[in-house]
Amino acid sequence: MELLSGADMIARFLKDEGVEYIYGYPGGAALHIYDALFRQEEVKHILVRHEQAATHMADGYARASGRPGVVLVTSGPGATNAVTGIATAYMDSIPMVVICGQVASHLIGEDAFQETDIVGVTRPIVKHSFSIRHPSEIPEVMRKAFYLAATGRPGPVVIDIPKDMTAPTERYEYVYPKKAKIRSYNPVTRGHTGQIRKAVDMLLKAQRPVLFAGGGVITGRASEALTDLARRLDIPVITSLMGIGAYPQNDRQSLGWPGMHGSYESNMAMHESDLVVGIGVRFDDRVTNNVSKFCPGARIVHIDVDPSSISKTVRADVPIVGAADSVLNEMLGMLSEREQENREALDEWWRRIDGWRGERQGKLYEPAAPGEPLKPQQVIEAVHRATNGDAYVVTDVGQHQMFAAQYYKFNRPNHWISSSGLGTMGYGFPAAMGIKLSYPEEQVVLFTGEGSFQMMMQELSTCKQFGIAVKIINLNNASLGMVRQWQDLNYKSRHAHSYVESMPDFEKLLAAYGFRAITVSNEEDLPAALDATFRSKDELVFLDVHVDPYEHVYPMQVPQGAMRDMLLSKTERT
Amino acid sequence: MRHIISILMENEPGALSRVVGLFSQRNFNIETLNVAPTEDETLSRLTVTTNGDDRIIEQITKHLNKLIDVVKLVDLTEGAHIERELMLVKVKALGSARDEVKRTVDIFRAQIVDVTPSVYTVQITGDAQKLDAFLQAMGPVGVLEVARTGVAGIARGEKLLSIQT
């Protein structure tokens, strides 16, 4: 048995838990913990330049690896700066443990220097939170925090630690707790067999079924089971934005992703379907459009590990509470005893789907003619080719995010990394950094825009300090593109504050940190620039691509319409 | 429809704020709220009355169950149950009204628990409707102050809300 201070217990627990990196920023209330980190070598701390970046780094790492990302910040402003990143992780169900320093116990409630009730502030955006009241609780609370963050429906967990809990003079017994026991928390794994049988029955008989897979398939590591099921039954697969990569997009059965800017064929197919089997999705309002017009002819099977997701927005006819992997495998097991009764209907269904595909073939956008500004879409397609479709692709939020989701094709899970639920501008750059640190041999590409990038560009300094070589593709349209698009469509092109009047010289900006920026404004220069960007995996390169500022993202669902009600270009609608 | 939801939750700081916060975050409504420790010192029992259609009540119970501090809950209105609320009321008791108040207190099987020359303090228990009716009956006399506990409830018969079962 060892006697350790609270601060040393934290450092030791992280090591025993196998945490390689933590992301954070020191300050008064966290200094005992920082001192403990200084006195060990296993857990590496990455010093960010703003605490929000620490949470996004942890988030990016978590999405790519499936393991909780760990953040360490101080009390007060340190903790409140982390709030946006915690909310981002919460909305997308990303496992994260955020350790916040707090003022000493005897000062709590006295409006002490750098005091904030961070447990109170973050209460609506965490899966759970803990306040440490005695140093000896630390190992057990840390165990519970990691367990809660990573199991069931994952999410962020905050641990608030008053400074006196980590004092070097107070030492207690430390044992690494292998298991957490929480009597009120028993996440389900297996679904109800009777319900699963019912769902299988419906799948074998449906005339126009679709599988609709979300982030739950990726966090639940159920891609393989999903792929098996889809192929065995020859059923089209639509993934949500969070589910991109859960099913290979180069496969004939993949219809892409649905919703506001989703593919024409996925929106048409989902609307016309008679059975939607949702797996680890939450039927978000950006997917369903007007819920009362959602899939009028379809029955809904909804599989989710979180019962509160089921029938929240769309009423499920067959609810199945269970982990995606377990439920899908149970379905596969049942298939061997059963005959598929809908082969002919499916042939007809595929004819209709192929018809929808054909209608839009080659009409998605007009590539730039010589001398015209580049289209953002063609830049994404060029990056896809330059990286063999193999990179980790991280985005910020806006038009570039939708274009990246539409035109980069993903064939495996955990490679599409984007703030989908909260839509956090500034997310992308730090998230990409978090991934690159842990996967240095991989290409990590950030698609961003000059609006989003300027929200977190101070992290160039962190990249310099730790040698983090992400590839930044800045789709520079000199305006807040998505805001501008909405203003074009809904506000008679009154561009209220969607124009960024003083753009920095990105080459000089990057040079200030010792990095290279390449500016491209026409098609002829793009291949060479991409070649220079991706030549090595060890150099941060910023590719500033000047693109057409007038381009809109299409398809775009018509507000309050059904899924199939879409604008297809500036002049066409369904 | 009105529902009475009883919750066993960890007797920990912050647990109550998570439950109450959930209602405001998700735009659910709280009509009454009552919370106190139980025979098991690690648990508190919280009883909330709320309004909503089946879909909303389903969401409320699912989201409550998801809170880590919530150990177990029951929607008492799903079965036979007993609900009680306690109310302390100060009423004017002057002149002829003094006798009138006393008579009404007896009719409602309430008790006068404190007396001054001009004021009676009345204690009354029952379901919410009975308490409302008493206040209405006292209306003309003059209700000076009301303190209600909010509803506490329990299922009839052998059904238990307990972590043992």
User: Domain containing B141 — which CATH number?
Assistant: 3.30.70.1150
pLDDT at position A209 is 98
pLDDT at position A369 is 87
Closest Cβ–Cβ partner in B21, B66, B69 for A308 = B66
CA distance B101 to chain A (A): 46
Residue B163: inside a domain: no
Tell me if residue A482 is catalytic: yes
Residue A197 contacts residue A334 (beta carbons within 8 Å): yes
Closest Cβ–Cβ partner in A127, A148, A312 for B59 = A312
Same structural domain for residues B48 and B100? no
Residue B161: inside a domain: no
Contacts of B70 in chain A (CB under 8 A): 184
d(Cα A100, Cα A131) in Å, to the nearest integer?
10
pLDDT at position A371 is 86
Q: What is the pLDDT of residues A365-388, one digit of tens each?
A: 988 888 899 999 999 999 999 999
Q: Is the pLDDT of residue B165 over 60?
A: no
Contacts of B11 in chain A (CB under 8 A): none
Dihedral sign of CA atoms A201, A206, A210, A212 in order = negative
Q: Which residues contact A222 (CB under 8 A, 6 or more apart)?
A: A216, A246, A279, A280, A323, A324, A325, A328
pLDDT-derived band of residue A182, with 50, 70 and 90 as boundaries?
A: very high
pLDDT at position A469 is 98
Mean pLDDT of A168-190: 94
Please give the residue of chain B at the shortest CA–CA distance from A183: B71
- The residue among A534, A385, A556, A369 whose CA lies nearest residue A481 is A556
pLDDT at position B80 is 97
Token pair of B60, please? 């409320």
Residue A559 contacts residue A489 (beta carbons within 8 Å): no
In A156-241, which residue ranges form alpha helices assigned H by DSSP?
A: 193-205, 215-219, 223-233
Please give the residue of chain A at the shortest CA–CA distance from B8: A184
Kindly write down the DSSP assignment for every residue of A515-557, as one continuous string.
-EEEEE-SGGGHHHHHHHHHS-SSS-EEEEEEB-TT---SSEE
Same structural domain for residues B21 and B75? yes
Count of beta carbons in the 10 Å neighbourhood of residue B43: 19
Chain B interface test: which of A140, A159, A184 (most B C-beta within 10 Å): A184
Domain boundary among B79, B105, B126: B79
- For a pLDDT cut of 70, what percent of chain A falls above it? 100
Mean pLDDT of A464-471: 98
Tell me if residue A163 is catalytic: yes
Token pair of A285, please? 């309002």
Contacts of A123 in chain B (CB under 8 A): 17-18, 21
pLDDT at position B140 is 72
d(Cα B142, Cα A540) in Å, to the nearest integer?
78
Same structural domain for residues B57 and B24? yes
Q: What is the pLDDT of residues B28-77, one digit of tens each?
A: 999 999 999 999 999 999 999 999 999 999 999 999 999 999 999 999 99
Count of beta carbons in the 10 Å neighbourhood of residue A217: 32
Residue A25 contacts residue A51 (beta carbons within 8 Å): yes
Residue B83 contacts residue B31 (beta carbons within 8 Å): no
Same structural domain for residues B92 and B126? yes
Residue A374 contacts residue A544 (beta carbons within 8 Å): no
Same structural domain for residues B31 and B89? no
Mean pLDDT of A341-353: 95
Same structural domain for residues B17 and B63? yes
Q: What is the pLDDT of residues A208-250, one digit of tens each?
A: 999 999 999 999 999 999 999 999 999 999 999 999 999 999 9
ipTM of the modeled complex: 0.92
Helices A264-272 and A343-360: angle between axes, nearest 10 degrees: 150
Q: What is the pLDDT of residues A240-293, one digit of tens each?
A: 999 999 999 999 999 999 999 999 999 999 999 999 999 999 999 999 999 999
Please give the residue of chain B at the shortest CA–CA distance from A181: B68
Same structural domain for residues B99 and B125? yes
pLDDT at position A361 is 78
Q: How far is Cα of residue A5 from the mean position of the Cα atoms in its chain?
A: 36
Q: Judge residue A342's burial from the number of C-beta atoms within 10 Å of its C-beta, 0-12 exposed, 13-18 middle, 19 or more buried.
A: buried
Closest Cβ–Cβ partner in A123, A131, A185 for B18 = A123
Same structural domain for residues B70 and B123? no
Q: Which domains does chain A show, CATH number per domain? A: 2-174 (3.40.50.970), 193-360 (3.40.50.1220), 376-553 (3.40.50.970)
Q: What is the pLDDT of residues A91-122, one digit of tens each?
A: 999 999 999 999 999 999 999 999 999 999 99
Same structural domain for residues B106 and B122? yes
Domain boundary among B79, B103, B130: B79
The larger pLDDT score, comparing residue A415 to residue A361, is at: A415
Mean pLDDT of A522-547: 96
CATH number, residue B33: 3.30.70.260
Residue B161 contacts residue B155 (beta carbons within 8 Å): yes
Q: Is the pLDDT of residue A144 over 70?
A: yes
What one-letter code names the amino acid at A374? Answer: L
pLDDT-derived band of residue A501, with 50, 70 and 90 as boundaries?
A: confident
pLDDT-derived band of residue A337, with 50, 70 and 90 as boundaries?
A: confident
- Say which range, A70-79, A438-447, B128-137, B139-148, has the weakest mean pLDDT: B139-148
pLDDT at position A297 is 96
**Which position among A20, A44, A114, A466 bears the catalytic label?**
A114
Contacts of B69 in chain A (CB under 8 A): 184
Q: Which residues contact B42 (CB under 8 A, 6 or more apart)?
A: B10, B11
Structurally, chain B folds into a number of domains equal to 2
Same structural domain for residues B117 and B138? yes
For strand A209-213 and strand A237-239, is the pairing parallel, antiparallel, or unpaired?
Answer: parallel
Print the domain residue range for B101. 82-152
Same structural domain for residues B6 and B60? yes
Domain boundary among B79, B94, B115: B79
Enumerate long-range contacts of B22-28, CB under 8 Å, 24 or more apart: B22/B63, B22/B64, B22/B67, B23/B48, B23/B50, B23/B60, B25/A124, B26/B59, B26/B60, B26/B63, B28/B52, B28/B56, B28/B59, B28/B60
Tell me the average pLDDT of chain A: 96
Residue B44: inside a domain: yes
Mean pLDDT of A453-461: 98
Same structural domain for residues B127 and B113? yes
Residue B164: inside a domain: no
Residue A33 contacts residue A99 (beta carbons within 8 Å): yes
Please give the residue of chain A at the shortest CA–CA distance from B24: A124
Residue B59: inside a domain: yes
Residue A435 contacts residue A105 (beta carbons within 8 Å): no
